[in-house]
Amino acid sequence: MDLDLEELIPQPASVKSDVLTLSFPNGCTVTLTVDSAVGCGGNYWPAGEVLATYLAHRGGLNGSKVLELGSGTGLVGLVAAKLGAEVLITDQLPLLNTMEKNIRLNELSGSVTALELNWGGPLPDIPLSGVSLLLAADCVYFEPAFPLLVRTLEELCRPNTEVLFCYKKRRKADKRFFSFLKKKFTWTQVLDDPGREIYCRQNITLLRLKLKPRLE
């Protein structure tokens, strides 16, 4: 049976296609095309906004190389680029056009690249040793993809890679994702976020993941 992701998770209130201007701490502003016609990834979601806000609050990304998984519109990665990082935003093929449009809207073609990346599939041909920060927001929603997401996180990580993972708890099935995740990662909650008290009440959690040592 084919599963429709839009039946599994609630859709945010938005028109089919629109252009939004979003403001974040420290004067960071992003112009964003949202388009529900390409599926749930064409909208922006609460955990993505939380992670983008945290990055803007923290700052300090000049010269960093950043990769975002499940980028959708590219919001989180675009904020990272506004903070001075070189960014790879990745998602499935139907989202590439939306991501590329948003790169152009924000005049970030020199610092952001959109790539197709299917969880569990081959990785793009990129120098992973240079990626210092891995980002993922609102990626816990489709249960069959849970082990694929963990596999891709593991393959992208190096011992010194910082991983920021933000998610909104929606269903009891989400616990299964963490049963897969704990086989490969440990994690702690990010505590230095001034918005934490607010978004925790919305069942949103921001985590810092650490790859467990690989057994020889």
Annotated binding residues for S-adenosyl-L-methionine, written as ranges, equal: 45, 70-72, 91, 119, 137
Q: Are 209 and 153 in contact (CB under 8 A)?
A: yes
Helix, coil or strand: residue 169: coil
Q: Which residues carry a binding-site annotation?
A: 45, 70-72, 91, 119, 137
User: Whose structure tokens read 């084919």?
Assistant: 2
Residue 150: name the closest of 116, 169, 176, 112 by CA: 176
Strands (E), 36-161: 65-69, 86-91, 112-116, 133-137
Amino acid in the structure at residue 76: V
Q: CA dist 41 to 9, 59, 70, 92, 150, Å?
A: 11, 26, 8, 9, 19
Element (H, E) at 197: helix 196-200
Helix, coil or strand: residue 100: helix
Residue 22: name the closest of 58, 46, 38, 40 by CA: 46
